[in-house]
Every structure is written in structure tokens, then in C-alpha cells.
């Protein structure tokens, strides 16, 4: 997927932490193939002479190499910056992508960057999406030289739309569970239909607590790694192809969100699987996003069970029918 990035490093540390288009995104997002990588390789530091690492009894001890008396050490070759050191740790992408026209480019691409609705966790303001020219340059930088130039702007529009949809879903999760599990159960116990209605009503009436809204700290594309849930669906799809998704997701993202809890900010990881479905009769592509908190803690497991179990209980117990009869 084409994604937003920051042109510079965060200014201050953070507390602990689909309009359809006729063009579908390429298989495997070229913007996120770098995978999980640290921002830079650590520099080698020699410990002081009194450090126990210099002791011959230490398992880290390395005997010094002998040198000929009077010989001078060979000058060290200048260090070449590694590719990893050029990556932005907020999204594991190059910190800056050129807006210049690429060699042999025959189509004019826009250089305007759209501001998303997604607030940043490292500073004030929102994340920005890449311009079509930046996206095309990034694809070339990743080796995707067969990208149709006249489809790049449509790709950017689709990608931005999917990002906005993913964030809206994450915000819905946070509005349910940011204030605790008891508050979450009160929202979930009446099923998904009523939950969606309550969230939409709060948005329309303007009763959402803006101070408790989440912020996106960083994100990471992992297109080559299937999530555990996607693996399970793949296995079930081979046994029950009519009921479960047979095709694997074409992309996966991990988003790290700053949750505003009554006890203070907390970092929560969300997993997003991107699936493509059969196109509309008009030829427009269809996408499905499976978004949920990652199972990094017992709390995340309970949150997922509450949303699934609350909806199942509401329908299986006949509560929805009784409520309709009373109204």
C-alpha cells in the first residue's frame, strides 16, 4: 500500500508508549517491503580498560592482535551509510522521497501531498500522504519499474481511501475500550448493530470526547508476513472454500496507536489485513479490511472476545427480537 511518511524525525519524545478507483494496488506494497528495521546500526564502542569485558576471565574477552613494533595502523576506510540508517523509524521508509521527475518518465505526476485525518503521536498535526510523484519514485527505488505511470494517481487515491477507512475503524475500537473493559462491555453487549448506531450518533451529536481520541504513533508494512488469523483463514479456506476466504491478503500493516486511558497514554498495536474481493459489475475494485487489536496482552484478547461474543450473545439469546417487540 502507498502510505504517508514524515520528512523529518519526531521533534519530541512520546509518552510510552474505500471512493473506488479503477486501479487496484500492486501485489505487495512496494512502499513497505523494507520490513521491520531499526533506524540505524549502533556504533561500535570500546569499553574502558577497567570494564570487566577486558578481563581474561570474561566470556566477552578477545585477545588483542599483535603488531610489529614501529608499524602504524592502516587508516580506516570511510564508513558508508547503511540503507537502514536512512530509514524513518516511524514508518520504516526512507525519510525523504524526491519530488523530482524520474528519468524516462513520460507522464506528469502531481507533487501535492494530501493531509490525512490521522493525528500524529509524535507531534501536533496530522500525517501526510505521499504525492503521486513521490509514490512513483518510491516504487522505482524499490525496483518496481513496470508500474504504469498513468495509474499512479489512481493508486494514491485508493490507498488514501483505505487508510482513512482503516483509521475510522481503529477510532471505533478506541472509543469503545479506551475507558476500560467495563465501559467496553456496556457498549458491546447489545451487539454490533447497536454499537455502530451509538458510535454514529455520538459522532453526529458531537458528544465525542476529543481529549481521549487516539493518535497514530508509527506504522509498519509487513506484506510478506501473514498474520495468525490470516493463516487460519487460509487453512479453513482449503477445507471450506465456500465459506472462508481462499485468497490470502494482498497486504498487512501493523499500526501502533496511542490510547488515552484514565491512567494515562498507552501504546496499542493493531493488525490490518487487506483483502481484495470480486469487482463490482461496473468494474470497480472491492476491498475488505480486517482490523483488530493485536494479541499482545490479555486485555486485547478480552476486547476481541467482547466484540465477537457480545454480538453472538445478543443475536443468539433473542435479545434483538425482544427489544424490537418492546419498541
Q: Quick: pLDDT tens for 214-273.
A: 999 999 989 889 999 999 988 998 888 888 767 889 999 999 999 999 999 999 999 999
Mean pLDDT for the stretch of residues 7-30 = 43
Residue 254 forms part of a structural domain = yes
Alpha helices in 208-258, H assignment, sequence order:
228-239
Residue 161 forms part of a structural domain = yes
Confidence (pLDDT) at 83: 43
Q: β-strands 264-277, 286-293: how paired?
A: antiparallel
Residue 31 forms part of a structural domain = no
Confidence (pLDDT) at 92: 45
Sign of the torsion formed by the C-alpha atoms of 240, 244, 250 and 253: negative
Residue pLDDT, tens place only, 45-72 = 444 444 443 333 433 334 444 445 555 5
Confidence (pLDDT) at 81: 52
SS3 275: strand
Mean pLDDT across the chain: 77
Q: C-alpha grid cell for residue 232? A: 487460519
Residue pLDDT, tens place only, 168-226 = 999 999 999 999 999 999 999 999 999 999 999 999 999 998 888 999 999 998 988 99
Residue 113 forms part of a structural domain = yes
Residue 9 has pLDDT above 80, yes or no: no
- Which range of residues forms the domain containing residue 206? 107-325
Residue 12 forms part of a structural domain = no
Q: What is the rounded CA–CA span in Å between residue 314 and residue 108?
A: 54
- For residue 155, give the nearest of 282, 256, 251 by alpha carbon: 251
Q: What is the rounded CA–CA span in Å between residue 147 and residue 136?
A: 8
Residue 90 forms part of a structural domain = no
In this structure, the number of other CB atoms found within 10 A of the CB of residue 188 comes to 24
Tally the domains of the chain.
Answer: 1
pTM recorded for the entire structure: 0.70
Confidence (pLDDT) at 33: 44
Confidence (pLDDT) at 42: 43
Confidence (pLDDT) at 40: 44
Confidence (pLDDT) at 185: 94
Distances (CA, A) of 62 to 75, 76, 246: 22, 20, 54
Q: What is the rounded CA–CA span in Å between residue 225 and residue 249?
A: 10
Q: What is the rounded CA–CA span in Å between residue 94 and residue 83?
A: 9
Confidence (pLDDT) at 261: 93
Residue 304 has pLDDT above 90, yes or no: yes
Q: What pairs with residue 326 in β-bridges?
A: none
Residue 178 forms part of a structural domain = yes
Residue 16 forms part of a structural domain = no
Q: What is the rounded CA–CA span in Å between residue 124 and residue 122?
A: 7
- When pLDDT is cut at 50, 70 and 90, the band that residue 80 belongs to is low
Mean pLDDT for the stretch of residues 283-295 = 92
Q: What is the rounded CA–CA span in Å between residue 104 and residue 134?
A: 15
In this structure, the number of other CB atoms found within 10 A of the CB of residue 109 comes to 20
SS3 58: coil
CA triple 273-276-279, angle to 5 deg: 160
Confidence (pLDDT) at 122: 85
Residue pLDDT, tens place only, 126-150 = 999 999 999 999 889 888 888 899 9
The mean-pLDDT minimum among 77-86, 246-255, 289-298 falls in 77-86
Mean pLDDT for the stretch of residues 276-299 = 92
Locus of grid cell 490470502: 248
Confidence (pLDDT) at 211: 84
Q: What is the rounded CA–CA span in Å between residue 137 and residue 74?
A: 40
- When pLDDT is cut at 50, 70 and 90, the band that residue 79 belongs to is low
In this structure, the number of other CB atoms found within 10 A of the CB of residue 276 comes to 16
Amino acid at each position: 500500500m502507498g502510505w504517508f511518511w514524515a520528512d523529518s524525525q519526531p521533534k519530541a519524545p512520546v509518552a510510552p508508549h474505500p471512493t473506488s478507483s479503477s486501479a487496484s494496488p500492486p501485489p505487495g506494497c512496494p512502499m513497505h517491503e523494507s520490513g521491520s528495521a531499526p533506524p540505524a546500526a549502533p556504533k561500535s564502542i570500546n569499553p574502558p580498560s577497567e570494564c570487566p569485558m577486558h578481563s581474561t576471565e570474561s566470556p566477552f574477552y578477545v585477545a588483542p592482535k599483535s603488531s610489529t613494533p614501529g608499524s602504524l595502523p592502516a587508516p580506516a576506510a570511510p564508513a558508508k551509510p547503511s540503507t537502514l540508517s536512512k530509514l524513518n523509524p516511524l514508518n520504516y521508509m526512507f525519510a525523504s522521497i524526491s519530488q523530482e521527475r524520474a528519468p524516462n518518465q513520460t507522464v506528469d505526476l502531481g507533487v501535492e501531498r494530501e493531509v490525512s485525518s490521522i493525528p500524529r503521536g509524535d507531534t501536533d498535526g496530522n500525517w501526510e500522504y505521499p504525492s503521486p510523484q513521490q509514490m512513483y519514485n518510491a516504487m522505482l527505488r524499490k525496483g518496481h519499474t513496470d508500474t504504469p505511470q498513468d495509474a499512479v494517481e489512481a493508486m494514491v487515491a485508493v490507498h488514501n481511501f483505505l487508510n482513512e477507512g482503516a483509521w475510522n475503524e481503529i477510532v471505533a475500537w478506541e472509543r469503545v475500550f479506551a475507558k476500560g473493559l467495563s465501559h467496553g462491555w456496556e457498549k458491546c453487549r447489545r451487539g454490533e448493530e447497536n454499537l455502530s448506531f451509538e458510535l454514529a450518533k455520538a459522532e453526529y451529536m458531537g458528544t465525542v470526547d476529543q481529549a481521549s481520541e487516539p493518535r497514530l504513533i508509527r506504522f509498519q508494512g509487513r506484506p510478506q508476513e501473514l498474520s495468525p488469523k490470516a493463516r487460519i483463514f487460509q487453512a479453513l479456506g482449503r477445507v471450506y472454500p465456500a465459506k472462508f476466504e481462499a485468497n490470502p491478503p494482498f497486504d498487512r500493516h501493523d499500526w501502533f496507536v496511542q490510547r488515552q486511558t484514565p491512567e494515562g497514554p498507552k501504546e496499542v498495536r493493531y493488525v490490518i489485513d487487506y483483502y481484495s474481493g470480486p469487482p463490482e459489475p461496473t468494474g470497480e475494485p472491492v476491498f475488505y479490511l480486517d482490523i483488530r487489536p493485536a494479541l499482545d496482552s490479555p486485555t486485547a484478547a478480552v476486547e476481541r472476545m467482547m466484540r465477537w461474543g457480545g454480538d453472538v450473545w445478543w443475536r443468539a439469546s433473542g435479545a434483538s427480537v425482544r427489544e424490537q417487540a418492546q419498541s
